[in-house]
Structure 1
């Protein structure tokens, strides 16, 4: 394979680079696989969002109470509010994200190759740069979808307005604020998701190398070591996903809470600014207010990240071209 030396794993080829993928199959099969993952994990996003926007008077202070309330009032469909909007925008957003991720990762590995860095450090830097770049590119599509879906997630909850669907939300936002209304919280989204994506991919890339070395792979002795089995590769990738989720959620939950509150505000004339949202959170709960929904967010990022990365790696194996 024409793989940069720093991008190779010396214990056996466990990474499939962008130039070795059947792109058409990758996008088509990937759309189906990731849609299935979204169906499974979407309710966690709904619960996390409701926890973040709940007013001080709302009694629901735990994920369990939120789930219980949703099921009581709306049944299982309540856990999928805004799902249609998310799925509609998810496909183009993921195409942009994954394309930018893979192409940037290759360039980043080449860029840092001359430096005398350890393999985990190189992986962290290259994956981090790729994750941040991919997030920046995908925000143009993702933010409007995020704004609309989050309003649907919290409609009728804690004083929030009700809508007939995603189109109704978008129409009312554009009527009140123009297209810029769909990009409410864009700066905070970039500030939240770009570092989150960078932290996630950096942690994932470096933790794998560390785990492999702990298991006896890596270093000069690799030539005498048998290549890891597929099951072992999957377990290491899953562990990397969990570590990445824990790292990213811990770092970015405060910004995500502020961003979510800004995005779900109603159409009133004097909507609060980010500074005012911060003051409100501090007044209501102190600093812990910024970590509302940390449990669901951690679970979401770990579960989504682990499931996504295993699906992603499986997808790349399915779409790998023959040498």
Structure 2
């Protein structure tokens, strides 16, 4: 099959949705199971004061494992796993917006930019309340009083479910329903540009790699590498915003301005690098894994009439 005759991007109207949605949810859950410890490590590195607890990603992982074992690396997992539901809405929005923009004759990169931004807006609106609870659970027991701002009882006989429910009840008691959307604006500012840029970079890197790689190189491998490169690029660009988001949600600061002011006074130029190594590893691994699952499932779910135009 010639390099110009196969379908490089499988579009929304080419797939059987009955196959796509369940396989997509299974893939998303599997990836989150494998990579969730990186999220815990990243969050704890971001909210620590300077480097008073952990010197870096490996030191953080070792200390969490030493004190709590594997369960410590999965703090807040079941609350966070609700993201597989938001993931369905995310990918449906992304593909749906691309399909609509295609009717208006939008270019490939413009479709990716707008689709990625809209998808993140929908996904974040669903997931932020669960993210707030999950991040409180992730940082409990870090050894600093301000890491338990809700005063949650974390006694040895308390299950993770009870602790998570107590976090939710305390948020409602103190702030009402709006407490679940603490840091929502910061989340949008961090993740909407991140998502929009990621899809643009993903397709851009994919096009460049297809151009320079020999025809025998797997197209799926090219897409996975392009996803990782896109993850690296957007992570470097948006890292300070992600730190501010995490601190707003966990340390209950009043505004993004206060969060940035405190962060700058504490870290100065290190604000651009704090927790970056963990985020880069998480982003690259997550992007590679998600694209591997996402693009494989699209190939499986594609309608019969297009299967002969698919290259693995």
TM-score normalised to structure 2 length: 0.88
Larger CA deviation: 66-75 vs 24-33: 24-33
Q: What root-mean-square deviation, in Å, do the aligned CA atoms of Structure 1 and Structure 2 show?
A: 1.8
CA distance in 1, matches of 2:113, 2:55: 34
The CA deviation at 1:59 is 3.5
Query: Is contact 2:24-2:88 (8 Å) kept?
Result: no
Aligned to 1:232: 218
Larger CA deviation: 53-62 vs 141-150: 53-62
Counterparts of residues 196-235 of structure 1 (less than 5 Å): 196-215=194-213, 228=215, 232-235=218-221
CA distance in 1, matches of 2:280, 2:101: 28
Please, which runs of 5 or more residues in structure 1 have no aligned partner? 1-8, 114-121, 217-227
Q: 1:45-70 CA distances to partner (integer Å, 9 max, x unpaired)?
A: 10000010002372413111111110
Counterparts of residues 9-48 of structure 1 (less than 5 Å): 10-48=4-42
Are 1:310 and 2:303 an aligned pair?
no
The CA deviation at 1:165 is 3.0
Counterparts of residues 1-323 of structure 1 (less than 5 Å): 10-56=4-50, 58-87=52-81, 89-113=82-106, 122-157=107-142, 158-159=144-145, 160-161=147-148, 162=152, 164-215=162-213, 228=215, 232-265=218-251, 271-323=253-305
CA distance in 1, matches of 2:112, 2:42: 27
CA distance in 1, matches of 2:63, 2:96: 44
- What is the total number of aligned residue pairs between the two structures? 290
Please, which runs of 5 or more residues in structure 2 have no aligned partner? 155-161, 306-312
CA distance in 1, matches of 2:93, 2:51: 43
CA distance in 2, matches of 1:262, 1:239: 33
Partner SS for 2:55: coil
The CA deviation at 1:86 is 1.1
CA distance in 2, matches of 1:59, 1:80: 19
CA distance in 2, matches of 1:294, 1:35: 24
Query: Is contact 2:65-2:72 (8 Å) kept?
Result: yes
Larger CA deviation: 138-147 vs 161-170: 161-170
Partner SS for 1:165: helix
Q: 1:9-64 CA distances to partner (integer Å, 9 max, x unpaired)?
A: 94411322211222122111221111111111111110000010002372413111
The CA deviation at 1:128 is 1.3
CA distance in 2, matches of 1:147, 1:93: 15
Query: Is contact 2:46-2:247 (8 Å) kept?
Result: yes
Aligned to 1:3: none
Partner SS for 2:304: coil
Partner SS for 2:97: helix
The CA deviation at 1:77 is 0.7
Query: Is contact 2:189-2:241 (8 Å) kept?
Result: yes
CA distance in 1, matches of 2:52, 2:77: 24
